[in-house]
Amino acid sequence: MGAYNKTIITNSGYQAIAEAIASGQALAFTTAKTSSYQIPGGTNIAALTALQDIQQSIELPTPTVYNDTVVQVYARFSNTNVTTEYPINAIGVYASVAGGAEVLFAVSTAITPDIQPVFDENAPSAFIFNIQMIISNAASITFAVNDSGTATVSDINRIDREMALKVSASGGNVSGTVVQTIVSTDEEFPIPVAGETIGEIIGKVKKFNSDASATFTGATNADPGKKGLVPAPDVGQNASFLRGDGRWIPAAQMKDIWQVVYPVGAIYMSVNSVSPATLFGGTWSRISDRFLLAAGSSYSAGSTGGEATHALTTAEMPGHTHTIGAHSHGLNSHKHSIPALSGTAASNGAHTHNVIPRNADGILFTAEGKVTQGGATTVPVTWGGGVYAASAGAHTHSVTTNASTTGAASGSTANSSAFNSGSTGSGTAHNNMPPYLAVYMWQRTA
């Protein structure tokens, strides 16, 4: 619903008031107009002489004066001829003195504008504004009567009172007016629609009263029920339920409903440990330490499986290696020591050493007495026998070595190719469950 600022009388409006008082002529509120133009904040409203983007204009009824200072004008803007929705950003009241030129008398701007919708014959609408203006000397002004203006509710009530007096004066009674024809209808509710006759409206009321006073009839396997007044429950049936067949059933017998809600094979779950057999009846089997899995082509209904923990087998482990990159091992500085040694070679007993002589010319005298020179064997030379070193008898030879130490050495070994490390892991079973909420669970078996 829209909201609007206080109505401001324009400078032209005050001039019209002064003219009416000075001339003694009647001041007539002629029209009210709506504008879709949003007047900028800070605008001097009193200085306005016209509205922009006027969307609708209606003739005004005679204004009402309260306490000689408050003048109220009734304006009703119907959407009957509206073809484009628009916001009612401002409302202007126009007036004239003694039938003179029409001037912008007062303006009310929107804080939150109403939206005038496009006309819909099924749901016509209208905005009604009671525009109030404070005119300190209103009692001195004669306001013209506009016979073509829209009547207010107050106007209708006043005419009703006047009509009642006139009828009574002539001996008649308006309450005895007869509606000749009541129009039949299938409407469920007596909601009046613009353009309906009294007979049509009363027909709706009759239909509604007839439906409301009918007795409710429950359904059977062969026939549908009939709407109407629900049968009143008897004493002691305050905890009963009304069935579709029209009977009030004690709550204890309503367990039959659970036969439909939980047929055989159904699963019941709750964080309450009370067995559904206690709540609803029937035979139930408790399900413990299992998840539910939707049955399908891979898992048939009623099958079980799975495990809470699982240890991976070698076949289940993904193929992998542990790579160690190329590296070297350092060789610390060190020495190799040879200790001082002394000893005596073992004796071989008395013996001689055979010597085959060679002269300075390279002539070799063989044991057979032949002479070899330049690779050719010459004629035998008579050799009286071999030459032998004299025997020294049995003896030994002493050997002595001095102690020594090698120099300092350092360096490293190297390996230029990668290789795999050994295996690790314990093979302990791991948790195989998703996040869960533990509940009590039963399956109905009978």
pLDDT per residue as tens digits for the range 60-110: 888 888 777 788 888 889 998 899 999 999 999 999 998 889 999 999 999
Closest among 24, 126, 136, 40 to 89, alpha carbons compared? 40
Q: Compute CA distances 413 → 201, 335, 417, 421, whole Å.
A: 113, 17, 13, 19
- What local confidence, expressed as pLDDT, does residue 152 receive? 47
Q: What is the pLDDT of residues 33-64, one digit of tens each?
A: 999 999 999 999 999 999 999 999 999 888 88
**Domain contains 277:** no
- The band of 173, judged by pLDDT with boundaries at 50, 70 and 90, is very low
Tell me, yes or no, whether 380 lies in a domain: no
Q: What is the pLDDT of residue 241?
A: 84
Q: Is 417 inside a domain boundary?
A: no
Domain assignment of residue 124, given as a range: 3-146
Q: Report yes or no on 172 lying in a domain.
A: no
Give the model's confidence band at 270: pLDDT under 50 very low, under 70 low, under 90 confident, else very high.
very high
Looking at residue 359, its pLDDT comes to: 56
pLDDT tens-digit map of 242-251: 888 888 888 7
pLDDT digits (tens, 9 = 90+) for 180-225: 677 888 887 788 887 777 778 888 888 888 877 777 888 999 999 8
Number of domains forming the structure of the chain: 1
Note whether residue 371 is domain-resident. no
- Going by pLDDT thresholds of 50, 70 and 90, the confidence category of residue 369 is low
Whether the Cβ atoms of residue 35 and residue 55 lie closer than 8 Å to each other: yes
Q: Determine phi and psi for 133, rounding to 5 degrees.
A: -130, 135
Residues 179 and 208: their CA atoms lie apart, in Å, by 18
Average pLDDT over residues 15-23: 88
Q: What residues contact residue 321 under an 8 Å CB cut-off, 6+ apart?
A: 420
For residue 173, the Cα-to-chain-centroid distance in whole angstroms is: 67
Query: When comparing pLDDT for 379 and 319, which is higher?
Result: 319
Phi, psi torsion values for 351, nearest 5 degrees: -160, 170
Residue 372 belongs to some domain of the structure: no
Residue 258 belongs to some domain of the structure: no
Q: Any idea which residue has 């001195």 for tokens?
A: 140
Q: Is the pLDDT of residue 171 over 60?
A: no
Tokens of 348: 């071989």
Residue 121 belongs to a domain: yes
**Maximum distance among all alpha carbons in the chain?**
202
